[in-house]
Each structure stands twice: as structure tokens, then as C-alpha cells.
Amino acid sequence: IKRIGILTSGGDAPGMNAAIRAAVLTASVHNIDVIGFHYGFNGLLDNDYQTLLPQHVQHIIQRGGTILKSARCKTLHTAEGAKQAAMALEQLQLDALIVIGGDGSFRGALAIAKYYRGQIIGVPGTIDNDVDGTDYTIGFATAIDTALDAIDKIRDTADAFERIFLVELMGRHSGHISLAAGIAAGAEQIICPEFGTLQLGSLKEVITPIKHAQLLRGKSSYIIVVAENSYPGGTTALAEALSEELGIDCRACILGHIQRGGSPVGADRILATKLGSYAVEQLVAGANLMMAGEVNQQAVLYPLGQTGDKKKPIDPYLVRWQQLIASD
């Protein structure tokens, strides 16, 4: 291997820069040239790239976002687009491509692979942690801490007013962030897609534990962490429906993209360093169409085509704990 490309794609995640840095530094040790594409796969289609030398990745380990920028790329959904991207890789004489992103980005990589003779490896970077084949994705740990900081602050005002708050967290269609941040914040209730979709207007299962808690503990603040896409009308509509049903003010707070930003926490920097470096080493060893993941602290390869297959389960022990305290 002489020349590799690297890009970050889909929702950015804290730690992506640390992964780019690790890949560039490892490549340099192996005398491999690195080209960084801008704006995800769009950089391939638009010939928008830069050479990445060790001096370009200095002091980026602590920075959120991605120095390469990110984007979602609809053009790759067509065979024409995938062919064009593969051609760009061939023309630049790249022996391999590293894709840092989530399973949507890996699907894009697989589309290109149909027309590309080089190697492709994925590095899991998404706050959602919804990628099979790795215990954690890069950015997940930071997103939990960011959400936690916000929920702790909401708890102060919720306590002062003895209010019910619904805090909506990201995760696309998974509840990894909500379960982790909800547990760590001591949320009274957690609602996430893995617990089954709430039907529009059917609030009984949300209200029963609230009433139970009010009976048991008297008036007190009550925080419900809601994973996005858990209620058909959205979290604000859920808060309004609850207010009406309970006859008390329920406030909704949609945390949104704040969860994607910020300096990566130590765990994300370490994971990103490990996986960015491992990806390059495995390319040198001949890996193709694999993802570099970490399972039980061991760096492992996992088939890129299977990273979205199983719908990675949320921690069953924490689910049981949450159900236990919600009904207590």
C-alpha cells in the first residue's frame, strides 16, 4: 500500500479528528501517503481533497467536529454516483479508503466497493452507538456527558418548580444515548424505541409511573428522557398531551445538535486513536470491506456489510434496572 484516502461522513462525532490524526500518524510510520477528502463522499465526486501530513493533524485530538468536514451524500444511492466515486479513487491511484462514520456511511462505502479495485475499511464514528461489531462508537461517550450536563441543569430548575420535564435526546432510531444518559442522570423514566413505539395519544404507560411516583414521594421534580423518534407526534406533542392529561405543566426540552459538539472526552480520544491506527495497520495486512471495532477492549475486524444488520441491543441490565426503579 502506497496511498490511501480518508473521509468523515454522516453526522459528525467528537473524536473523529482524533481518528484522522491516528490514521495519518500510523500511515506516516508505514511510509503511506494520505489524502483527506472534504465533505464526506462529496469530496470524491467533486475532486475536493487535501494531502494530510503529520503536521496537518497536530493539536486536533482535542477538537470536536471534523477538520475534513462532513456531509450526507445522496448521489451515492445511484449506481452512477458510486461508479463516479470509484473512478475518482482509481484516478488518484489510491490503494485504499478509510471511511469514518456510521452504518449509513458504510453502506455508501459498500456501494463504491462494487466498482473499486482497492481496499475499503470503516471506522465507527457516530454519537448514536448504533453500529454492530464494536462495543462503542467514537463520539458516544462525549454525547452522554454532554446530555448529562444538560439534564443535571434541567433537574435544578425542575426541582425548583416541582415540574415534569421531558428531555429529548438524539440517537436516530436507537436508545443507546437515552438509556446511558438517563441512567446516569437519575431520570425517573426513559422512553426509547427499543421499549416499543408509543402510540399517538396512548399515554397510559407514561402516566402510570408518574402517578405512582407522586403518590409515593409527593410532589417532586420528575424527568423523562425521551429518545428522538419515540413518539409519533414528537416530544413536544407528548409533553402537551401529558400536560392536558395530568392537569399540570410538563415542559419539553429538545437537546438537539449540542450533543454532537464539544471536545471529545478521554474515552473517545483513546478509542479513536486505537481504531484510526488499527484501521491503517489492517489495511497494510490486507483487510478489505471490514470495520475496525473494539470488543472487550480488543481491536477487532467486523464485516462492513453487517454493521447495521442486528440492531445493536441496548444494555439489558440497565433496562432491567430502569424498569425496576420506574415501577417502584
Going by their DSSP bridges, the two strands 164-169 and 96-101 should be labelled as unpaired
Shortest distance, position 133 Cβ to ligand F6P, whole Å: 17
Kindly state the cell numbers that stand for 31: 511510509
Q: Measured at the alpha carbon of residue 256, what is the angle toward residues 185 and 8, in degrees to the nearest 5?
A: 110
Q: Which of 12, 103, 128, 268 is catalytic?
A: 128
As measured in angstroms, the least distance from the Cβ of 234 to ligand F6P is 13
128 is catalytic: yes
* Residue 228 Cβ vs ligand F6P, minimum distance, rounded to whole Å: 6
Please say which residue, 206 or 255, places its beta carbon nearer to ligand F6P: 255
Q: How far is the CB of 126 from ligand F6P (least distance, A)?
A: 5
The helix/strand count (H/E) of the chain reads as 10, 11
Q: What is the DSSP string of 94-136?
A: -SEEEEEE-HHHHHHHHHHHTT--SEEEEEEB-TT---TTSS-
Query: 11 or 209: whose CB is closer to ligand F6P?
Result: 11
> Nearest-CA neighbor of 106 among 316, 303, 317?
303
- Three-state SS at 315: coil
Instruction: Please classify residue 112 by burial: count the beta carbons closer than 10 Å to its beta carbon, then call 0-12 exposed, 13-18 middle and 19+ buried.
Output: buried
We find the least distance from the C-beta atom of residue 191 to ligand F6P, in angstroms, to be 16
Helical ranges in 186-291 per DSSP H: 204-217, 235-246, 266-284
User: 16 or 34, CB closer to ligand F6P?
Assistant: 16
Q: Between 126 and 282, whose beta carbon lies closer to ligand F6P?
A: 126
Q: Which is nearer to ligand F6P, 32 or 314 (CB)?
A: 314
CB-based closest residue to ligand F6P = 11
Q: Measuring CA to CA, which residue among 130, 112, 142 is closest to residue 16?
A: 142
> Taking the complex as a whole, how short is the minimal distance between the CB of residue 119 and ligand F6P, in angstroms?
25
**Positions in the binding site for ligand F6P (CB under 6 A):** 11, 102, 126-128, 170-172, 228, 260
Phi, then psi, of 83 in degrees rounded to 5? -60, -45
Give the C-alpha distances (Å, rounded to integers) separating 211 from 189, 246, 289, 301: 12, 9, 51, 48
CA separation, residue 214 to residues 127, 158, 163, 209 (Å)? 34, 14, 11, 9
Q: Shortest gap between Cβ of 146 and ligand F6P (angstroms)?
A: 12
Residue 70 has, within 13 A of its CA and on its CB side, a CA count of: 22
| Closer residue to ligand F6P in complex, CB, 126/142 | 126
- Taking the least distance from each CB to ligand F6P, the nearer of 77 and 219 is 77
Of residues 233, 225, 178, the one with CA closest to residue 206 = 225
- The residues carrying an active-site annotation are 128
